[in-house]
Amino acid sequence: MDAGTLIVTLRTIAVSGVATALSILVGVPLGYILARRRFTGRTILLGFINTGMGMPPVVVGLIVWLLLIRSGPFGGLELIYTPTAMVLAQFVLATPIVIGFTTASFQSLSPQLSDLLRVLGAGRVRMLWLLAWETRLGLLAGVMAAFGAIVSEVGASMIVGGNLERSTRVLTTAIVTETSRGEVERALALGVMLFALSLAVNVLLTVVQQRNRP
């Protein structure tokens, strides 16, 4: 593997890894609240979130691009064509997936379980942690689905990142570039790299998920 491929691979891990981590931080608590609270409009909201789980990356990319370009409302932040912009777009793609899986997972737990934990004296954070661990099969499935979706998307990264060789080129956009240049062998090598990365992450998470299988 040459230095260029290595850098692109590491950048892919960094961008999609940070986006996934942020989507967990935001999505798990939101999914937990959606699973436990009853309020008007909840079902409609869940419907939107479930739709969000399958949003076309190109459209999300376009919207984030419109927000971040110079003339856009957040143009002053000068984030367009940076890895941060890519993280942002991927975060928007990943979060509904995490929320959807989290809500379904927590709802599958017995409602008595939270009563039990309250009686035992668990506070809010501890309760969330214990219940999350209890339903980690579903939660980690959500994390894998989210990471899998954003590490393999091209459209959003291309639009908001700009596929700049030195700063925003990731494995998927690199494959598009090499293929259009006729460098099929390099494109294939990058494809293998992407596949290996995805496999490694998923095997790791699956091991955690299935350990002491509930």
Partner 1 sequence: MTDIRFEDVRFRRDGRDVLSIPSLHIKADRVTAILGPNGAGKTTLLRLIAALDRPHNGRVLVGGDIADTARRSVSLAFQKEVFLRRSLLENLMLGLTIRGADRGEARDRAMAALRLLDIDALAEKRVDQISGGEGRRASLARALCLHAPVLLLDEPMAGLDGSTYARLLDELPGLVGHSGATAVVVTHNPEEAFRLCDDIVILVNGRVRAAGAKREVATNPQFRDVAEILGYTVVNVSGRLVAIPDGALTLAAGPTELAATVDTVLDVAHEWHVIASIGPTRVHIRVPRSEAPPQSGAGIHLSARVKYEVS
What residue ranges bind partner 1 (CB under 8 A)? 110, 112-113, 115-122, 126, 130, 134, 214
- Token readout for 31 is 């999914």
CA 172 to chain centre: 15
Give burial (CB, 10 Å; 0-12/13-18/19+) of 145. middle
| Nearest distance in Å: CB 101, partner 1 | 18
For partner 1, the closer of residues 127 and 176 by Cβ is 127
44 vs 119, beta carbon nearer partner 1: 119
In angstroms, the CA 25 to CA 96 distance is 12
Closest distance of CB 108 from partner 1, Å: 12
The rounded distance, in Å, linking the Cα atoms of 31 and 120 is: 24
Question: Given the complex with partner 1, which of 166 and 213 has the nearer CB atom?
Answer: 213
Least Å distance, CB 125 to partner 1, is 12
Q: Which two tokens stand for residue 152?
A: 């393999």
User: In angstroms, rounded to a whole number, what is the distance separating the alpha carbons of residues 177 and 169?
Assistant: 9
CB of 212 vs partner 1, minimal distance in Å: 8
> Which of residues 22 and 117 has its CB atom nearest to partner 1 in the complex?
117
